[in-house]
Structure 1
């Protein structure tokens, strides 16, 4: 007699790797900085962990990291005890055992990928089981079932294959070749140049550890200004990281090309280019190809994810300017009382990031149109 998918799922344990989960927790306790290597791999609520105890422990670790607190047996036990879950996760003795059984944090990225893979398999099983149940129940249009099944597979595939950081040259390298060297930094500035002389004269450049907020109503040119600053800074030799939570990497690349070539963006998007536009675009592409601009267009990122990615980029590419577009799209803490408090927490975290990395951070902010309506 054939066994249904539902019956089969009852006889088998879901995909899991407990050893890898334990190695991750032990590795972070041994080396606190290891959490920054995996925060972009694992779910921020610990849902990728199979054991509920490990979810709670990992969330407590993230909380300590977000507050710039050390993560050790004392602080972690205290945080879990404050949350009333220390004993339910195995107590301090279990945490100590995890440290004892983990010799090094060197392989933590490998372990995180293993845990993530098992989590994705569980998601796929759960979602597919739901679709199978609906198929057996009947009564639904086949088109709706097929559409939902496709969405499920696509969402899981997106989580598995996502790539978040792109160098600008990766977006255009198949079309144009690199040309001349970038201009060197202007010696009289103490900070990062914006490319706007009057602004640079007033500020002596964007200063390390500063948080600069560019605020404006929708469609008033905030992103265009930030991209101009990014382009000018990069061409002066300052590597720039852009976290775009609104526009895609392709949209940003088009805007950078249009700005650098001084060609109307609408003509680029519509393909209605004039003969004189092509030499300008060719020159602009050559310059941008060599520009140290790094783009992350992951939507709905948390401040912790941005911080972890920015830390890796800073170590790898000596980033001198970070741009976040825009503030209200960054995910804040789930326990914030209201959206205003959430935005305030995000702003403080961005300022802390600027100080920690010793680089200026530009955050774009959307202003409401409500005052205009009241007028």
Structure 2
């Protein structure tokens, strides 16, 4: 077997940088707070350096001076002095330390070497798990991706930004948000009242749209996607319930305003046929991509979006629906699975800097509560942290009819409740659902 680089040179480390860091603290204990802000004991590769650093931290907490003598006494009390090389090694630490300390440079080297060691350990763990074959490939890949993300976050400097730098980077956008919100995100000009309350779904946000089973949520989602696409946006629809052909059929019916039953039965009149053909041409020219059930886990959805991003922008991700997406991690069921998926969708929005709209069904408890007038996203099926994960929470539900009130299938009274809105007011909007034509519009139209 070919010898690996790890076998030849061992785990990445810089003993000199570790020694210079510890020696700098001994020369000038005032630098310790800056070191502690950036390093932990795990950033040191050798056990003796870890023990010396821990001793420095203990002395600092006791407000004692840090020097050779105090370090030796502390380590001796714990029976660790000989293990670090004795007093002679402590005396060597501050030898050769330059007058002008470069502590930040030493810290940078230690953080880099520590990150490389962590990658080596992660790679070894990945190889072992894959070789054992106990877990499925997707579960291993998903867990590894999460650990890599955590490694990147841990290895970042963590330095809080100054107010001035934040204003320099985003001040203009903050002041202009009320005017430019729609152009920056996905405009919701589909209905005037909704546009007034929610001008746009902003980038890096998660919108959960909940409704009872067969309650019109897919129709509303497709209406929103079509409106965004007609405005020049690039959208991806992940449909775990319907085929791509069914989605297009619904868009054709909505755009041409033709009864879906006529299309299914082949009984369109001449005018309806012309409208349907025209709509097919319009839809084929839009920047919409459809994934019909191929991507049923957050990891697969993320991979699919990455592939699309290589060829075109991605302005909107729509998912139908949350509870059908499998976590891809063993052991997660019910509420835990739904919560994990919801937070993965939020991560997806941040990663691709676009809004994500995910549909959700109501639980049986939610359906009962709805009949009593209690409408809340917290009643979504398997909802634990779904409400906390989202930035916008919308609920589509049937409006309660008055005594003797009769409605037709083409004008079913509905309400859209803005149950959560991080950037604006909540409230309700009266809508009408044209069920045979897959259209939802404001009651005022």
**TM-score, structure 2 as length reference:** 0.44
Q: 1:192·1:207 contact (CA, 8 Å) conserved in 2?
A: yes
Counting strand residues as a fraction of each chain, which structure ranks higher? 2
Counterpart check, 1:189 vs 2:182: yes
> How far apart, CA to CA, are the structure 1 residues paired with 2:291 and 2:216?
20
Q: 2:218·2:320 contact (CA, 8 Å) conserved in 1?
A: yes
Residue 321 of structure 2 is matched in structure 1 by 326
Residue 232 of structure 2 is matched in structure 1 by 237
Tell me how far 1:52 sits from its aligned partner: 3.4
Residue 211 of structure 2 is matched in structure 1 by 216
Paired residues, number: 220
Q: Alpha carbons of 1:188 and 1:341: their partners in 2 closer, same or farther (altered >3 Å)?
A: closer
> How far apart, CA to CA, are the structure 2 residues paired with 1:67 and 1:274?
58
Q: Alpha carbons of 1:244 and 1:59: their partners in 2 closer, same or farther (altered >3 Å)?
A: closer
Aligned ranges for residues 283-302 of structure 1 at < 5 Å? Answer: 283-298=278-293, 301-302=296-297
Residue 267 of structure 1 is matched in structure 2 by 262
Tell me how far 1:368 sits from its aligned partner: 2.5
Q: 2:315·2:354 contact (CA, 8 Å) conserved in 1?
A: yes
> How far apart, CA to CA, are the structure 1 residues paired with 2:201 and 2:138?
37
Tell me how far 1:285 sits from its aligned partner: 1.5
The secondary structure found in structure 2 opposite 1:352 is: helix
Residue 132 of structure 2 is matched in structure 1 by 52
Among residues 145, 164, 173, which one is paired with 1:65 in the alignment?
Answer: 145
Larger Rg: 2
Residue 361 of structure 1 is matched in structure 2 by 356
Tell me how far 1:284 sits from its aligned partner: 1.1
Tell me how far 1:206 sits from its aligned partner: 1.4
Tell me how far 1:327 sits from its aligned partner: 0.4
> How far apart, CA to CA, are the structure 2 residues paired with 1:56 and 1:217?
34
Tell me how far 1:280 sits from its aligned partner: 1.3
Tell me how far 1:341 sits from its aligned partner: 0.9
Q: Alpha carbons of 1:239 and 1:57: their partners in 2 closer, same or farther (altered >3 Å)?
A: closer
- Gaps of at least 5 residues in structure 2 are 1-125, 156-178, 372-445
| 1:327-362 deviations in Å (ceiling 9; x for gaps) | 000001443454101100000000010011000000
Tell me how far 1:64 sits from its aligned partner: 2.2
**TM-score, structure 1 as length reference:** 0.52
Tell me how far 1:372 sits from its aligned partner: 4.5
Q: Alpha carbons of 1:233 and 1:54: their partners in 2 closer, same or farther (altered >3 Å)?
A: same
RMSD (Å) for aligned C-alpha atoms: 3.5
Q: Alpha carbons of 1:267 and 1:369: their partners in 2 closer, same or farther (altered >3 Å)?
A: farther
Aligned ranges for residues 243-254 of structure 1 at < 5 Å? Answer: 243-254=238-249
Q: Alpha carbons of 1:70 and 1:201: their partners in 2 closer, same or farther (altered >3 Å)?
A: same
Tell me how far 1:315 sits from its aligned partner: 3.1
The secondary structure found in structure 2 opposite 1:291 is: coil
> How far apart, CA to CA, are the structure 1 residues paired with 2:132 and 2:306?
29
- Gaps of at least 5 residues in structure 1 are 1-44, 76-185
Tell me how far 1:213 sits from its aligned partner: 0.5
> How far apart, CA to CA, are the structure 1 residues paired with 2:150 and 2:365?
43
> How far apart, CA to CA, are the structure 2 residues paired with 1:54 and 1:371?
39
Larger RCO (CA within 8 A; separation ≥ 6): 1
